[in-house]
Structure 1
Amino acid sequence: MSRKYVDILFYSLLAVIVATYTYFTIKTFLPINAYIGDEVWYPTAAYNMLKLIFHISPPMYFPYPDKPGIETFINVCHPPLAKYIMDIFIIVMGYYPLSWRLPSWIIGDLILITGFFFTRDILGKDLIGNLGGIFTSIILASCPNLWVLHGIAMLDIYVAFFSFLSLYFLLKNKLLLSAIFLGLAIASKEPAVMLIFPALYYIGEIERKPIKRAYLGLGIPAFVYLIISLPIIIYEGGPLAWLHAKIANTVVWDISNGHISLDAVTQISEPWDWFLNIHPFNMGHGLYANVNPIIMILWAVTTPLAFVMKNLKMIMTTMFAWSEWLGFVLVYVLGNHTQFSFYVTDFAPFVDSYVVISLFMIARKFYIKKGEEKNIEENKQNYSGGIS
């Protein structure tokens, strides 16, 4: 079969996976006509940003949640990009659950598509590469954490998508695009900041000029972040007032235990708990941010393989995941002992795709070795037959 028909076959399979995922997304989340989990904060903040900052008041077809100060809350403690994207749909459709969840649904589909092409690029654009790409899409679609977080209007799915695109373009050596998407990831939520470190390392392997390395690894992401934050900066009264608000509301918040009561032990799940799905976060409505322990353990076990094989693309994929995980460990050490299982979504695309890539690499090595042994044995037999 020619490569053209192989591609058509696998693109068709990918389309079926995405269509099935979309169907079950709509079937699961559309009927829930209520706030789910932290939706009480983010869609409301998105609407308030329209009302207070941009002076636009789309129709409200759904009431504010019963929270103190909610009608002026704009969520300064987190960057604004995800809320801007929600705002686009709220402007067009009005304020109600479908409008604020729809962008997350679209992003969930796009992550499956990105996973296919990401894996195929690393494994190769042959039958094995296409097969690996399909397996990655299936693993991503079956990831319980991504499933819940892509279905609702929270920030983590945006981090997952933009950081995944950043790594995708980084490994294609499209460094400027990668830097822009890294800035978009950071402008969605803070955990993406940790990705600056592995990105700088890879850029250093490609670009030896220190100034250009700093420009691509630090300057562009920072510029993107600041441009996106500009309306908030103006609203807060200028750079100094905004910076003070960020320190008070983000830095202090991130390293404190204020996220939930320490007594809520069944909701708290620290970074090492995620490997065993201990205390998955209850979103309500029968939805839990579960983690797949098999995938998480396989990720940890197969990480050394990337270094043994000296495969830079594999190393970068697993290190992007570990960098974010270590970021959560860092804030734990600094004092935040109230973390949640849904944080796994931030780096789940790296973990899921890395596990598939590493297992396919092992299988390919085994297949090649067996093939070489078979050829040696056949050559021996042919040689023996010629002598006799």
Structure 2
Amino acid sequence: MTDKYNMAIYVFLLIIVLFAAFQYYSLALKLTQMEIERHGKGYVSDEVWYVPSARNILRKTLGIIPSLPGGKYGASIIYNGNIEIAWIRKIAIKYNVSVVDENYHKIKAFYVESNNLNNINAFIQNISEYYSISDIVYGWRIPDADGINEYLNLEHPPLVKYLIALSILYLGDYPLYWRVPNIIAGALIVFFVFLSIRKLTNNPWLGLIASLLVSVDPIMRYLSSIALLDVFVALFSVITFYLAITRKYMFSILLAIIGSTAKFNTLFVLIPVYLLYIRRELKKDNSFINFIYYTTLFFLVTFGSFLAIQALISIPIINIIGFESWLNQSIFGAIKWHTSVKCAGAACPASSAPWDWFLGANGFVLYYISSNDKLVALGYWPLWALALAFSILFIPAYRIDRKTSYSWLFLLGILSGYILLWIIGGRTQYSFYSVQLAPFVYSFLAPLTTYIIVQKEKILYVLNDWYKLFKYLWRIVVELLTS
């Protein structure tokens, strides 16, 4: 009976994970087809920065020329001065080369395709006799952005760009294939939400409910379907969560730091990990000296490991630009970039404060499906708002139910990192950052609903704690006013 029970659980889990992957793949395919039908350049939202930087890293480090699907090759040709595009087209025909895209305004470029790479090279050699060709980017067409052929996206670490580059290398340089790493990451998030809730509650059915909810949340669907960095932040965060609840604190710290090579804000997951770590040490010895010692040790080890791992993962970048330039741009420059206002004004995308993400406000538009339909990077805000309200209302519950305390700590701990960033100057945060919180919204709501809200005695306990607090605060106010 137990074997059949476990088999049923894993069958349901497999169905949910495959369903999640199918959703993400379907949306990635739809966006690819829509862009092609619209004669666009294929990029969705900030893919215009991450995919070209991945392609540039690939060509600058390995000198590899990626192919397109179907054995085709493409080349974006960047030139100086002016060209006669009609003449270019005539020359292209002689070499069985097609001029596919000449619609560039911010960079002087045009894009060609052919079934034969040698034909493209011969064509380029021919026109080079008449025009000044400054650069050639092989692969899918580049976006229309000044200097995009040299761009390396140094304000963010390179891990995800490496994954995109690998996808381009082995699957082909094509919009759908750029998104395969994100599709896989999204499916893995769903899987680790299940593992985490099952571990916390010993209730696999609750884990299935939480994993299903996170799989269909809008922000998870959108960010797992396009080649942005943030779904990897969510993935490393939820794996860190799983390691922390199994009390493997050193591994969880290491995993979070490795995750920071995708994007620095992964490090916000270390806030709850630190609290769990220091709690364990204070249980052994609650002296102030012990607190200072282990706090200092935690931050020294974390900071040292962060620099070492960032440098290690960035070796290909360092080989291109040099160590000093990398340190200034990818560490100090990146920290300054994160903690400052990035873009302000009517021409800038909608920025948001962290609490907006729970209220469905100031969402970042990822893509316009039509004039009435768009992909907005927000979670299902009624449930998010409920999670935030409950996380505040049930603060006293952490002492009576460990099943909810861990997910509560991670939800509020990561959120506090974004709030701190907002306070110190990072006011232009975007709603797609909030995908990092998505696993914890549902990891918190599912156990809370089952283990606290449905149990009258626990609600009364929570309300009694709030009553004691307000009674104490009122006594202080009365003493101040009447003394």
Question: What's the TM-score once normalised by structure 1's chain length?
Answer: 0.85
Worse overlay, 33-42 or 92-101: 92-101
Pairing 1:268–2:276 present? no
Amino acid at match of 1:101: R
* Higher-Rg member (1/2): 2
The structure whose residues are more often helix, as a share, is 1
Q: What's the CA shift for 1:187?
A: 1.0
Whole-angstrom distance in 1 between the partners of 2:158 and 2:331: 16
Question: 5 Å matches for 1:207-246?
Answer: 210=294, 213=298, 217-238=302-323, 240-246=324-330
Residues 316/361 of structure 1: CA separation in 2 closer, same or farther (3 Å cut): same
Question: Moved runs in structure 1, 4+ residues, more than 6 A?
Answer: none
Aligned to 1:118: 196
Whole-angstrom distance in 2 between the partners of 1:215 and 1:337: 28
Whole-angstrom distance in 2 between the partners of 1:189 and 1:29: 22
2:233 paired residue among 141, 159, 182? 159
SS at match of 2:413: helix
SS at match of 2:416: helix
Residues 213/4 of structure 1: CA separation in 2 closer, same or farther (3 Å cut): farther
SS at match of 2:63: coil
Residues 164/298 of structure 1: CA separation in 2 closer, same or farther (3 Å cut): same
SS at match of 1:41: helix
Aligned to 1:31: 30
Q: What's the CA shift for 1:273?
A: 1.5
2:155 and 2:333 in contact (8 A); partners too: yes
Q: What's the CA shift for 1:79?
A: 0.8
Q: CA RMSD in A?
A: 2.6
Pairing 1:341–2:431 present? yes
In structure 2, list runs of 5 or more residues that go unmatched: 33-41, 68-137, 285-292, 370-374, 460-483
Amino acid at match of 2:258: L
1:306 and 1:358 in contact (8 A); partners too: no
Q: Deviations over 1:276-328 (max 9, x none)?
A: 11122111142221222222222222225364242456334233232332332
Whole-angstrom distance in 2 between the partners of 1:249 and 1:219: 18
Amino acid at match of 2:190: L
2:65 and 2:139 in contact (8 A); partners too: no
Whole-angstrom distance in 1 between the partners of 2:450 and 2:300: 35
Pairing 1:47–2:50 present? no
Q: Deviations over 1:223-278 (max 9, x none)?
A: 4333212332343311x33221135631222233224x422587222212112111
Residues 73/368 of structure 1: CA separation in 2 closer, same or farther (3 Å cut): closer
Whole-angstrom distance in 1 between the partners of 2:429 and 2:236: 22
The higher-RCO structure (CA 8 Å, 6+ apart) is: 1
Question: 5 Å matches for 1:31-110?
Answer: 31-33=30-32, 34-59=42-67, 60-110=138-188
In structure 1, list runs of 5 or more residues that go unmatched: 370-388
Q: Deviations over 1:46-74 (max 9, x none)?
A: 11111123433323542011111111101
Pairing 1:172–2:249 present? no
Question: 5 Å matches for 1:17-28?
Answer: 17-28=16-27
Aligned to 1:3: 2
Question: 5 Å matches for 1:352-363?
Answer: 352-362=442-452
Whole-angstrom distance in 2 between the partners of 1:174 and 1:328: 25
1:179 and 1:220 in contact (8 A); partners too: no
Whole-angstrom distance in 1 between the partners of 2:458 and 2:359: 34
Residues 318/228 of structure 1: CA separation in 2 closer, same or farther (3 Å cut): farther
Whole-angstrom distance in 2 between the partners of 1:20 and 1:57: 35
Q: What's the CA shift for 1:215?
A: 7.3
Pairing 1:188–2:257 present? no
Q: Deviations over 1:144-200 (max 9, x none)?
A: 111100110000000000111011111112234322321222111111222223212
Q: Deviations over 1:209-233 (max 9, x none)?
A: 8387567655545543332123323
Q: What's the CA shift for 1:131?
A: 1.4
Q: What's the CA shift for 1:367?
A: 9.9
Whole-angstrom distance in 2 between the partners of 1:309 and 1:6: 31
Whole-angstrom distance in 2 between the partners of 1:229 and 1:354: 35
Pairing 1:290–2:378 present? yes
2:140 and 2:174 in contact (8 A); partners too: yes
Residues 213/77 of structure 1: CA separation in 2 closer, same or farther (3 Å cut): closer
Aligned to 2:413: 323
2:257 and 2:302 in contact (8 A); partners too: no
Worse overlay, 226-235 or 151-160: 226-235
Amino acid at match of 2:364: F
Amino acid at match of 2:175: P
Q: Deviations over 1:312-346 (max 9, x none)?
A: 56334233232332332233233333222111112
SS at match of 2:30: coil
2:397 and 2:405 in contact (8 A); partners too: no
Whole-angstrom distance in 2 between the partners of 1:325 and 1:174: 23
Residues 247/28 of structure 1: CA separation in 2 closer, same or farther (3 Å cut): closer
Whole-angstrom distance in 1 between the partners of 2:306 and 2:339: 23
2:236 and 2:266 in contact (8 A); partners too: no
Residues 244/276 of structure 1: CA separation in 2 closer, same or farther (3 Å cut): same
1:166 and 1:179 in contact (8 A); partners too: yes
Amino acid at match of 2:405: I
2:366 and 2:377 in contact (8 A); partners too: yes
Q: Deviations over 1:66-111 (max 9, x none)?
A: 1111111010000111111112211112211122100100111111
Whole-angstrom distance in 2 between the partners of 1:178 and 1:36: 33
Whole-angstrom distance in 1 between the partners of 2:434 and 2:181: 20
2:24 and 2:222 in contact (8 A); partners too: no
Residues 222/205 of structure 1: CA separation in 2 closer, same or farther (3 Å cut): farther
